[in-house]
Amino acid sequence: MSFERAILQDASPPRARRASAIRPLLVRLLSLIAVLLLWAVASAWADSRLFPGPQEVLTFAARDIASGEMLGQLGITLARVAASFFIAFVIGSAIGLVMGRVRLADHVLDPWLILLLNIPALVVIILAYVWMGLTEAAAITAVALNKIPNVAVTLREGARALNPGLDDMAAAFRMPASDRLLHVVLPQLQPYFAAAARSGIALIWKIVLVVELLGRPNGVGFQLNLYFQLFDVTGILAYTLAFVLVMLCIELFLVQPLEKRATRWRGKPA
C-alpha cells in the first residue's frame, strides 16, 4: 500500500500542474468570448458606422493583412518600440544602478529624475519635434526620454536592496569587478530588470502611437490619425486591435516567461 501511495503522490503533482496551467487559459478564453458576444450585441443595436461589429472589423483587418498594408505598418511601429525600449532600458539601468550605489550621484540626479517623471509625455514629444525636427531620431528620442526615468527608479530601488553580505563575501574572496558584477550584482537585480522591462513595454508602445500620430508619415499611430480624419471607425478599431494583439503576444510569450525565470528563485521552500 505504501508503495502504491508513493507512486500516486509522485504522479499527482504533474497532473495538478497541468490542471493549474489549463484552468487560467480556459478562463481567459471564456472571458474573450464573452467580450466578443457583448461587442456583437452592442453593435447590433448601434449605428454600424459609429460602432461596427466584430465581423466588419475582422473583414477590414483581413483585407489589409492580405494587401500587406497592416503588416508593414505594424512592423514599422514595432521597430520604433524596440529601438526606444533598448535605449531607455540601457541608459535608465545605468543611471539607476549608479544612483542606488553612489550616494552623491543619487543626490545630484534625483531632482532631474523627479523633473522627468512629472513632465507630461506630450510635452516631451512636442519639444523633441520642435528642437530636432519631424525626424525618426526625434521620435525615438522622445519615447526613450519618457521611459528612462521609470527604468532608473526601478533599478535604483534594486541597487539599494542588494545584500551587503554578498558584497562583503566578494570583497573577502577578492573577486574582480567584472566577476562581482556578473555573479553577485546582476543575479540579485534580475527581478528588477524584469519589472522594468514589463512596465517599459506597457508604456512605450502607447507613447510610440502618440509620436506617430503627431509627426510620422507611417506606423500604426499614423494610420489611426488617417482613419480618424476619414471618420472610419472600422479602420481605427482594426488597427487598434491588431496592435494590441501583437503587444499582448509579446507580453504573454516573451515578457511573462522572462519574468517568471527571473523570479524563480522565490519559489516555495521545500
219 phi, psi to nearest 5 deg: 100, 170
**93, amino acid identity:** S
Domains contained in the chain, CATH given? 54-264 (1.10.3720.10)
Q: Residue 120 and residue 135: Cα distance in Å, rounded?
A: 20
Which pLDDT belongs to residue 9? 47
Q: Residue 101 and residue 113: Cα distance in Å, rounded?
A: 16
Which pLDDT belongs to residue 266? 56
Which pLDDT belongs to residue 21? 62
Q: Residue 82 and residue 91: Cα distance in Å, rounded?
A: 14
Which pLDDT belongs to residue 20? 65
**188, amino acid identity:** Q
Which pLDDT belongs to residue 84? 95
Please name the residue that has the C-alpha cell 541597487: 159
Output the tens digit of pLDDT for each of the chain's 270 residues: 444 444 444 445 666 666 666 777 788 788 888 988 998 888 888 887 888 988 899 999 999 999 999 999 999 999 999 999 999 999 999 999 999 989 999 999 999 999 999 999 999 999 999 999 999 999 999 999 999 999 999 999 999 988 888 877 877 888 887 878 788 888 888 889 888 888 888 889 899 999 999 999 999 999 999 999 999 999 999 999 999 889 888 877 887 777 777 666 555 444
Which pLDDT belongs to residue 122? 93
Which pLDDT belongs to residue 86? 95
Do 81 and 137 form a contact (C-beta atoms < 8 A)?
A: no
Which pLDDT belongs to residue 14? 64
Please name the residue that has the C-alpha cell 496592435: 243
Which pLDDT belongs to residue 15? 65
Which pLDDT belongs to residue 232? 93
